[in-house]
Amino acid sequence: MPDSASLVTDPFARFREWMTEAWTHEPDDANAMTLATATPDGTPSARIVLLKGADARGFVFYTNMQSRKGEELAANTRAALLFHWKPLGRQVRIEGRVEHVTDAEADAYYASRPRISRLGAWASDQSRVLPERAELERRLAMYELKYPDDDIPRPPNWSGFRIVPDRFEFWQSMPFRLHDRTVYTKPANGGWALGKLFP
């Protein structure tokens, strides 16, 4: 495969190209990404979340702010993302600082979710101990009665985070494990610096 990454000086443009190709090969979950967070003392954790917005400002996902990831991001506002598209032999690693989305952004995305997902955001104390599945189902039924129509407000503890990148790595599988790795880093004076890494 020709090394075209070096011709693209904007990592967001490069990401859009790769994401567009990924959707043609993984239509069910091309936007699945590993989110890595850490506590202030450095204890790491990782999980798969779904990318719900990507532009020049950063990469957005939504969650219960009182979940483990929400609490870790509140305490340590650095995070990493990893996209892996096996059919294409590609990975994208992203590192950066974390900020909250606006209330308007969170409201708009929440309103776009299926009704049961919106009710589930009220019913679930995400990451907390659940004594038995029946408790979640009971709480879901309670909120179905509380909000019988489609007008379901966004829970105050449910919103989104934006990862604002300062580093990208685009990894392309190559024969004999001589992979191509292109890195973009953000100098203090702005813009993006582009370089290569040994495989």
Q: Out of 14, 78, 118, 177, which one is annotated catalytic?
A: 177
Stretch 163-192: mean pLDDT: 95
The Cα diameter of the chain in Å comes to 59
Share the mean pLDDT of the chain: 95
Helices (H) and strands (E) counted in the chain, each on its own, are 5, 9
pLDDT band at residue 2 under the 50/70/90 scheme? very low
Render 18-73 in DSSP notation, one character per residue: HHHHHHHH-TTTTTEEEEEEE-TT--EEEEEEE--EEETTEEEEEEETTSHHHHHH
Which pLDDT score is estimated for 7? 67
The answer to pTM > 0.85 is yes
CA-wise closest residue to 169 among 125, 139, 136, 199:
199
What is the structure's pLDDT at 27?
Answer: 85
Does pLDDT of 9 surpass 60? yes
Higher pLDDT: 6 or 61? It is 61
Quote the CA–CA distance of 46 and 7 in Å, as a whole number: 32
Report whether pLDDT(133) > 90.
Answer: yes
CATH superfamily of 5-114+156-197: Electron Transport, Fmn-binding Protein; Chain A (2.30.110.10)
pLDDT tops 90 at residue 6: no
Looking at residue 1, its pLDDT comes to 45
Q: How confident is the model at residue 190 (pLDDT cuts 50, 70, 90)?
A: confident
**Annotated catalytic residue 177:** yes
Q: For 62-86, what is the mean pLDDT?
A: 97
Span 21-67, pLDDT tens digits = 999 998 889 999 999 999 999 999 999 999 999 999 999 999 999 99
pLDDT of res. 3: 52
> pLDDT tens-digit profile of 142-174?
999 999 999 999 999 999 999 999 999 999 999
Q: For the chain, which residues make up each domain, given as ranges?
A: 5-114+156-197
Out of 89-93, 99-103, 124-128, pick the least confident.
Answer: 124-128
